[in-house]
Structure 1
Amino acid sequence: MKQTSERSGKGVTIGIAMHKPYPVPQGDIYLPIHVGAAMHPDALADTQGDDTGDNISKLNPYFCELTALYWLWKNDDSDYKGLVHYRRYFTTRNFFKRYGRDRFNRIIQGPELERILKDTSVVLPKKRHYVIETIYSHYAHTMYAEHMELTRLVLQDMAPEYLDQWDTLMNRRSAHIFNMMIMDRDTFDAYCAWVFPILFEITKRLPPSQYDTFHARYPGRISEKLLNVWIMRNGIQFKELPTTFTEPINWWKKGTSFLKAKFFKKRYTSSF
């Protein structure tokens, strides 16, 4: 049955943002979270919903996996909290598992992660490198540049001390993406307390509902950039882990779409 009260306890809790039935890794550190549960309660009837306690479940069409992030912030007090996706996870460092055929066997488990967390309080995914694009130009070519421009304006109004880091990131060619992270509770909660008011203000000024379903998810994409900015500004020390996708990726479609966006101004219309 779905849980309806705050989760309490020590250790590590990594939320798995999911919206439909799908195999999930076993292990005490993982907690499947049904995102958008307020609108589709029957999709995952026996999974912890993001609609209990203090929540923003109804914003899921725009905030994507961030409704699970918000739920963890407000309703879970584990020593370490994190977020992954139902098809994308942090990967073990074990060479044979990492490159084995069983994609679920590649996913990091509790004992290994706990050893890593003895040396760091924050784990992020390895950076995505765009090579021929900056972070700004890639977003402007594939989505809408106005999202990035408005974000800077909101930072200028709400957190001007972060503008230098924002401008630096916009001119870089790599960043941590996916909204994946594992952090000690204090760091996790501090990040959420910073990023959500900014996102709420951005969506107040530029309602996502004016876009089609794909582009309406822009707040979730903007938050990927804001995580980098927050990490940079606050001098957060972290370790990186590679990620794994539980299904084959169509690299041809992904690559050609990337090039079409850059050279022919063809915005993305769906996820890959």
Structure 2
Amino acid sequence: MQKNPNVKILVSYHKPSVLFKDEVLTPIHLGRALSKEAHKDGKVSDEEYEWLCENMIGDDTGENISHLNRYFNEMTGIYWAWKNYDKLGNPEYIGLCHYRRHFIFDEYVSNFIHRKFVNYYPIIENISKHYQSIIQIRDFNCQDYDLIIPKKFKTTNNSCHSVYEYFAYNGQNTQALNAIQDKICSNKGLQEYAHLAKNLAQKQSFYPCNMFIMKKELFFEYCEFVFAILLPLYEEMKESLSSANIWQKRELGFTSEQLTSLFIERQLQKDRKYKEFEVSFVENPNNAKFQDMLYQDTLKKIMTRHKVISFDLFDTLLVRPYAKPIDVFKHLEESFGQKDFASLRSRAEFKAMKTLNKKQVNFDEIYSQMPNRFHFLQAREKELELQTLYINPLIKNLCEMARSLGKKVIFVSDMYHSKEFITEILTKNGICDFDKLYVSADIGKTKHHKDLYQYILKELDLKPEEMLHIGDNKFSDFENAKELGITAFYLPKPMESFLQDYPKLKQLYEFHSNNLTISIILGLCLKKWLYCDKDIVEYWSYLGYFYGGVICYGLSKFVFKEALKENLKEMIFIARDGYVIEKIFNLLQEHLATEKIQTHYVQASRSLCNEVFGLDLMENTSNRKAINLILSFKEEIEDFKVITYYDLFLAAKNKS
């Protein structure tokens, strides 16, 4: 901002989303006057409405047309800014963007975003810290320009040969579009736009989204032009618009993009100084950090209306370091070399229920259905659970919030472990301040069958509406509780939220959903993410933990296995690439080796290594042994689907 004069960019919202708010970005709630009515994405709840009111200005104060938002889209926010400019502090420049569409001011980055929405908008997966940095205006000097605009959108991007076809493709009526030329020609003050409006419907490009940053005087000129056409058009069309469906009611809003485009084209004809930027499209505008904040704000209000706050345990308060719970059994199978344990253990619980004719069985009853050779793993399973289960910080905060409001806090779980064992897990993790713990294995009733809820209501002498239950299972924690009149709140599993925020890791998991190593790596990444408040700010920390560590582990494990196979007594790791590999190698030795292999770290340049080992792969291919060695550990690292040294060597081999 040191380079720039006073700039305000309105960020338009119609529902809660990640909040962009600083001295430049100014969130505005569009259509606040209609907040209780359905919009294109459904209805806004009371809690969501309160959040919008608390965190941004509304377009319904002073002189406004907020009540026309279902017809005018973001233009109600532009109208409000025009008529209430002093409330923005009379900025020298004014702009508009959207909650999921922003100018990408970092042109270096935008050149590397190749995935496009409708072959135009660079697609951003979610709102990360990195994304927030590339849409900051601070490194761009507004004073050099009269207006900042989006790059032109070509209708042919959508296989449409004209604006008219583009409207039809999007299911929009064209009455307003067809009327623009007549409106301009009949208004003496707008004659300078007449030649631009001619054959408007047949044009093949326009400036989209009503996005811009303009000098104050240009903004006022723009508003006088646009609303001199839009408002009379609305008066003529309001009867037909009122009976249109939710999508087609927005005809004037879509038509306003063409008016904005005409205004921009006219300014460029006047040799205004301008700059074009890419406009982003955010696939998921609600990242997990924002969602948590919204959960906490919402639940705080809901908690005040209830006597007892109930929490589910597993995958809600307690988290396992695996991609899915069944991988606990896989981990035991691999650690103790017990083939078929995982599949038999996962089936044993249901087998015990059927054999004993019970809704819920306990830990001993499950293992009674297992072959004798696996019985020693019963104690090992409890040890592993006790060692690895940890607390979800979000739920811990909610428990503390409930306590601070003077509410009773209870935990309710459909679980085969005993109450005593779960209490031990909670105590180990510092969770001691609660009133009751209800475990289905001890009581013989379950949330799944609803009778555990009924048992709790009776024991605590509660009316259903006096209890709030929070959990991750849509059926047993949410739907069943609601059927009994209990207030229920669904919270997604931590792993679901994590993979939603990191689509590349989600792809990795989906591609290797049965791979225990991948499951544990994702589980560890999840724990890191949760304990960084779901916001790993420092880029290199994120890259190193989520990707670099994974690659180095794969390579180190390969080297370790080869060393054992060759019965080596010593290993030399060469600087600098070998530094981390040696560290991991020795960690593996601590856990897995019966006899220690002595390791050495030697400083040597890469060019020296190339001379010694003849690894100049770009020039000659005589050293097939080296290439074959690299290819041999392909299986160890190919799971990770990121660029590795293997990829680089393979590329070198192919080129040579």
TM-score over 0.5 for the alignment? yes
Instruction: Give the corresponding residue for 2:556.
Output: none
Q: 1:28 offset after TM fit, Å?
A: 1.5
Instruction: Give the corresponding residue for 2:71.
Output: 62
Q: Of the candidates 83, 108, 114, which is equivalent to residue 95 of structure 1?
A: 108
C-alpha separation in 2, matches of 1:210 and 1:102? 36
Instruction: Give the corresponding residue for 1:187.
Output: 218
Instruction: Give the corresponding residue for 1:244.
Output: 280
Instruction: Give the corresponding residue for 1:19.
Output: 14
Gap regions ≥5 residues in structure 2: 37-45, 114-123, 286-656
Whether contact under 8 Å (2:180, 2:197) holds in the other structure is no
- Helix, strand or coil for the counterpart of 2:144? coil
- Helix, strand or coil for the counterpart of 2:186? helix
Instruction: Give the corresponding residue for 2:94.
Output: 81
* Structure with max Cα Rg: 2
Instruction: Give the corresponding residue for 1:176.
Output: 207
Instruction: Give the corresponding residue for 1:157.
Output: 186
- Helix, strand or coil for the counterpart of 2:106? coil
Instruction: Give the corresponding residue for 1:225.
Output: 258
C-alpha separation in 2, matches of 1:188 and 1:56? 18
Amino acid at match of 1:12: V
Structure 2-normalised TM-score? Answer: 0.34
C-alpha separation in 1, matches of 2:31 and 2:202? 34
1:248–1:45 Cα change, 3 Å: closer
C-alpha separation in 1, matches of 2:217 and 2:227? 16
Q: 1:169 offset after TM fit, Å?
A: 4.1
Q: Of the candidates 126, 137, 150, which is equivalent to residue 110 of structure 1?
A: 137
- Helix, strand or coil for the counterpart of 1:55? coil
Instruction: Give the corresponding residue for 1:257.
Output: none
Q: 1:96 offset after TM fit, Å?
A: 4.2
C-alpha separation in 1, matches of 2:174 and 2:31? 27
1:199–1:152 Cα change, 3 Å: same
Instruction: Give the corresponding residue for 1:48.
Output: 57
Amino acid at match of 1:64: N
Q: 1:112 offset after TM fit, Å?
A: 2.0
C-alpha separation in 2, matches of 1:141 and 1:40? 29
C-alpha separation in 2, matches of 1:151 and 1:134? 16
Instruction: Give the corresponding residue for 1:258.
Output: none
C-alpha separation in 1, matches of 2:23 and 2:162? 39
Instruction: Give the corresponding residue for 1:125.
Output: 150
C-alpha separation in 1, matches of 2:107 and 2:163? 31
Q: 1:29 offset after TM fit, Å?
A: 0.6
Q: Does 1:135 align with 2:163?
A: yes
C-alpha separation in 2, matches of 1:248 and 1:38? 27
Q: 1:170 offset after TM fit, Å?
A: 3.3
Q: 1:91 offset after TM fit, Å?
A: 0.6
Amino acid at match of 1:165: L
Q: 1:95 offset after TM fit, Å?
A: 2.5
Q: 1:160 offset after TM fit, Å?
A: 4.1
1:72–1:168 Cα change, 3 Å: same
Whether contact under 8 Å (1:103, 1:244) holds in the other structure is no
Whether contact under 8 Å (1:36, 1:51) holds in the other structure is yes
Amino acid at match of 1:123: I
Q: Of the candidates 230, 239, 245, which is equivalent to residue 199 of structure 1?
A: 230
C-alpha separation in 2, matches of 1:182 and 1:12? 9
1:64–1:91 Cα change, 3 Å: same
Whether contact under 8 Å (1:27, 1:110) holds in the other structure is no
Q: 1:168 offset after TM fit, Å?
A: 5.3
Q: What percent of counterpart residues are identical?
A: 32
Instruction: Give the corresponding residue for 2:585.
Output: none
1:45–1:191 Cα change, 3 Å: same
Amino acid at match of 1:63: F
Q: 1:128 offset after TM fit, Å?
A: 0.9
- Helix, strand or coil for the counterpart of 2:194? helix
Whether contact under 8 Å (1:87, 1:245) holds in the other structure is yes
- Larger RCO: 1 or 2 (CA < 8 Å, sep 6+): 1
Q: 1:18 offset after TM fit, Å?
A: 0.3
Whether contact under 8 Å (1:122, 1:239) holds in the other structure is yes
Q: Which has the higher helix share?
A: 2
C-alpha separation in 2, matches of 1:233 and 1:96? 30
Q: 1:33 offset after TM fit, Å?
A: 0.3
Instruction: Give the corresponding residue for 2:640.
Output: none
Whether contact under 8 Å (1:169, 1:229) holds in the other structure is no
Amino acid at match of 1:137: E
Q: 1:121 offset after TM fit, Å?
A: 1.5
Q: Mean alpha-carbon deviation: is it higher for 130-139 or for 238-247?
A: 130-139
Q: Mean alpha-carbon deviation: is it higher for 18-27 or for 96-105?
A: 96-105
C-alpha separation in 2, matches of 1:230 and 1:110? 23
Show CA shifts across 1:136-178 (max 9, x none).
3322443223221122222222234422101254333111011
C-alpha separation in 1, matches of 2:201 and 2:145? 27
Amino acid at match of 2:53: A
Q: Of the candidates 214, 217, 228, which is equivalent to residue 247 of structure 2?
A: 214
Q: Mean alpha-carbon deviation: is it higher for 140-149 or for 236-245?
A: 140-149
- Helix, strand or coil for the counterpart of 2:102? strand
Q: 1:110 offset after TM fit, Å?
A: 3.2
Whether contact under 8 Å (2:155, 2:162) holds in the other structure is yes
Whether contact under 8 Å (1:103, 1:245) holds in the other structure is no
- Helix, strand or coil for the counterpart of 2:252? helix
Amino acid at match of 1:33: I
- Helix, strand or coil for the counterpart of 1:33? strand
